[in-house]
Structure 1
């Protein structure tokens, strides 16, 4: 965030309250001035200036500058446009219909777009108990070492909660459905409020489900867009039966990872999951986990399913016992961490190729 805060000059208390509310949702702190004369000290330095109609009607008392927004109640009339032109307003925002535009302006101040867009990665199990949530968590922990960091998002309301998996069930912070968002948001402000899984080199914010309630599609879309804009990798743990929100994640994901055990029944189940995914995206890859009892190789397993093999993940010694003890493994090496690193590398490589 820039060192200076947006400046708000509003005489209408109702409009001021709405501006403050939208700024709070965007995680943006403001400087306030009762009139243009009092605003003089912040006028030139503020990254954004927000005026209401009453202020804009006054004779210009300060030099013209860029980045002035005029907020009005309802649709702007001819006089509103006249005052906006005279003051040098760049944009007129009508509340409540254009609230997302104002939130976006505040979000751009809080979190300027990253030079390189972040990734959206989705993980889904080929069958129940495939280990998709464990792999999604490992993938997010790996991605959190990247410069932009990561965010782990629980999209499976019946999955038991990623906070429980990561030992964060008693850690304070919002969960779905307490997080109700729309439009442009600041993902850094959201991440700072969430429970954090500490690891070597940092801490991973986790947005988990609570009591069988998952994200609304609109809220998840806002989080994914904000994460991508900020350069952060957002990893979504999806339910096998896609909800509206999960379908949104699949549609926008740079890569959907299907975790498939190397068992015949698991392959049959995974094919059913793939049918639902194929209606939404072609960006799917397979992580083959475990060992086949009949000698079928991971490459052959992926060939039976169709999507390319991203990684082969043999069973990890002690993993099941660690999870039973609510101790999510934090090993920097081993099959789980190695497979997550390979998948992340593929996702980065494909994203760079797509941007050329």
Structure 2
């Protein structure tokens, strides 16, 4: 069953972020040489809506600090562009921005033209959504799995990344614990020999959904480079990447949070849960500005979702009504939102509709 979210989009244009008229003229000239049209944004505020989806992002040196302060998502294909000559490339600025390369003009003009040519017609990178629990046992893992399952039911290629080593395992939430495939311990030990582009194909999967989770062995911390490889592979080959984050953020979780186009904080409608969620939100907002809350019922004290959103000073993404049958379905090994019916499925569909997800163009 297709949803209105699962539409095919035309390839997006590379994005240039700069308020420097000289750099703008030079970049437009190089884009003309590459026969590519650029999207142009003067600052981080104007760039935000297109930053994650563009096949290539060029950020002028003058605009880079604003992008860092705005906590735009870290993503592959970001280039810091500098008008030369310079004595030393601005490595610290590039690192803070998450740029993969520094292009010093005019020396880097041929290289940059090649990158623009490569970006022409490139598929839209996957949208990354992170999910956090406002307190332990809030149901964040079930919401994350429900989003991935709902996307896959709509024909979108989805990847569910379980970044919480202390959780029960996303494969168990889906009822997939018996499926063969790569899991975090093997990837973290670097023993698989699987390159990032092929990583998703090596994971447990059914239909349009793949999952990167834990085995039942020793607990591990996800290495930073393993998370980076997983996110890069998901961005390059999927339409949606959903990351289930731990409440205590380690380096890998911080990387995923900073890379997310949107982060959902699930808050039970209880006073103590709101107090705990406020602490989680305070930590999370240091790494992302794209944080929204989902309020989960029931509300024993009759707290309303909008009251909780105002108290946390965060936008409300939606509410999740009680669903007694959901717990029984999970015990039977049925994936959350798998039938497309019920409060969780409806909430997940609304969230995905708001994201305006698109399927990739078929390979030539």
Q: Which TM class, normalised by the smaller chain length?
A: 0.5 to 0.7
Aligned to 1:172: 180
CA deviation profile, 1:199-253 (whole Å, cap 9, x unmatched)? xxx3411110233224211111122123223353111001000011000000110
Residue pair 1:310, 1:346 contacting (<8 A) in 2 also: no
Verify: 1:137 aligned to 2:145, yes or no: yes
The reply on whether 1:286 has 2:293 as its aligned counterpart is yes
Where do 5+ consecutive residues of structure 1 fail to align?
1-108, 350-356
Q: Which residue number in structure 2 is paired with residue 100 of structure 1?
A: none
Q: Structure 1 residue 204 and structure 2 residue 204: aligned?
A: no
| Aligned pairs for 1:1-356 within 5 A | 114-145=122-153, 148-180=156-188, 185-187=195-197, 189-196=198-205, 198=206, 202-210=207-215, 211=217, 212-329=219-336, 330-348=338-356
Task: Describe the SS at the equivalent of 2:129.
Answer: strand
Q: Confirm or deny: 8 A CA contact 1:119 1:228 kept in the other structure.
A: yes
- TM-score normalized with structure 2 length: 0.60
Q: Distance in 2 between matches of 1:331 and 1:147?
A: 14
1:114 offset after TM fit, Å?
A: 4.4
Give the Cα–Cα distance (whole angstroms) in 2 for the partners of residues 334 and 115 of structure 1.
33
Note if contact 1:262-1:288 (Cα within 8 Å) is conserved in structure 2.
yes
Q: Return the offset for 1:169.
A: 1.4
Query: Which structure 2 residue ranges, 5 or more long, are not aligned?
Result: 1-117, 358-364
- In the TM superposition, residue 290 of structure 1 has moved relative to its aligned partner by 1.0
State whether residues 113 and 230 of structure 1, in contact with CA within 8 Å, keep that contact through their aligned partners in structure 2. Answer: no
> CA 1:161 to 1:343, structure 2 compared with 1: closer, same or farther past 3 Å?
same
SS in 2 for 1:190: helix
Q: Distance in 1 between matches of 2:139 and 2:121?
A: 34
For 1:303 and 1:162, the matched residues in 2 are separated by 31
For the residue of structure 2 that corresponds to 1:144, the secondary structure is: helix
Larger Rg: 1
Aligned equivalents of 2:208, 2:186: Cα separation in 1: 22
Aligned residues: 234
Aligned to 2:95: none
Q: CA separation of 1:166/1:147 partners in 2, compared to 1, >3 Å: closer, same or farther? A: closer
Q: TM-score, normalised by structure 1?
A: 0.61
Q: Give the CA RMSD over aligned residues.
A: 2.5
Structure 2 counterpart of 1:76: none
CA distance in 1, matches of 2:135, 2:181: 31
